[in-house]
Homo-oligomer: A and B are copies of this chain.
Amino acid sequence: MQTDMGTVAKALSLLTLFNHARTEIGLSELTRASGLNKATVYRLLCELQSGGFVEQTGSDRAYRLGPEVLRLAALREAAVPILSVSRAILDRLSADTGETAHLSLVRGESLNSLSHAYSPRHATRVMMEDAEVLSFHGTGSGLAVLAFADDDFVDRILSRPLVAHTDLTLTDPARIRQVLETVRASGLAEAVGGFEADVHSHAAPIFGADQRPIGALAVAAPVSRMTASQWQAIRSRLKRAATDLTQRIGGFCPPDYPRDRAA
């Protein structure tokens, strides 16, 4: 991880080490996880701390993400209000389908879940966590994005090692490219048990102002509930919701994106 990255890239890489499982990390652990020198990590942390990007807990002296990221997120929302706009759409989508709806966004060469909505209709539901890293090849959302992404982006993603989250995960690049073809035809991706067993998920890409996919809207349901009529209902509602979201954030679907056939 330590090859030829600039000073700020190193600093930013420290921030990426935080996740839901480790929201507070000590100096030693950060140095170990980052592969950098302890003195380097400490200096970087000091600068990040004085910028408010991390803060130290009072008890142990572990570090955690600081309040400045909240401020920046609010400003990002002011510039590109994806979260606030998607809120209503997610709520409606989960209510209409009775299942869990969630939004994820592309960030470089990874995909992050960012927001979700549950439906109270069923006792069992697919649970989500925000800020989780999703895989492109194993999730409906990832496939939806790949299907409409640049060729070289797809090449980069598929040339990396493709881990199998379950024994249903597609890991053969050629097979995945076949699937992408069908996704392109319908405008919707479908993944059954590829990321988590027993989860049947549909996903539709959302596009930015440059007509390139910036993320995906998805509905995740237990496989046991996926009847034919439910399948139909999810697909039509999801597609409408995704094009709606694309439009509301000032994005444009590319010309080759299948228009939604009627209601």
Hey, which bits of chain A sit against chain B, CB under 8 A?
Answer: 6-9, 11-13, 15, 18-20, 23-24, 43-44, 47-48, 50-53, 57-59, 64-80, 82-83, 105-108, 112, 114, 129-131, 208-210
Contacts and interface: CB of A to CB of B under 8 A. Distances in A.
A18 B72 CA distance: 8
A251 to B, nearest CB: 11
Contact of A23 (B15, B70, B78, B131): B78
Contacts of A76: 64-67, 69-70
Nearest to A64: B79
A48 B208 CA distance: 20
Contact of A208 (B58, B105, B112): B58
B59 A12 contact: no
Q: How many copies does the complex hold?
A: 2
B71 A131 contact: yes
B78 A8 contact: no
B9 A105 contact: no
Given A76-B66, A209-B59, A107 B71 contact: yes
A66 B80 CA distance: 9
User: Could you say which of A8, A74, A80, A82 has the most chain B C-beta atoms within 10 Å of its C-beta?
Assistant: A8
Given A7-B7, A67-B114, 12 more contacts: A6-B47, A8-B51, A9-B50, A9-B51, A20-B75, A70-B77, A70-B83, A71-B131, A74-B114, A74-B130, A77-B130, A78-B130
A120 to B, nearest CB: 18
A79 B83 CA distance: 20
A94 to B, nearest CB: 18
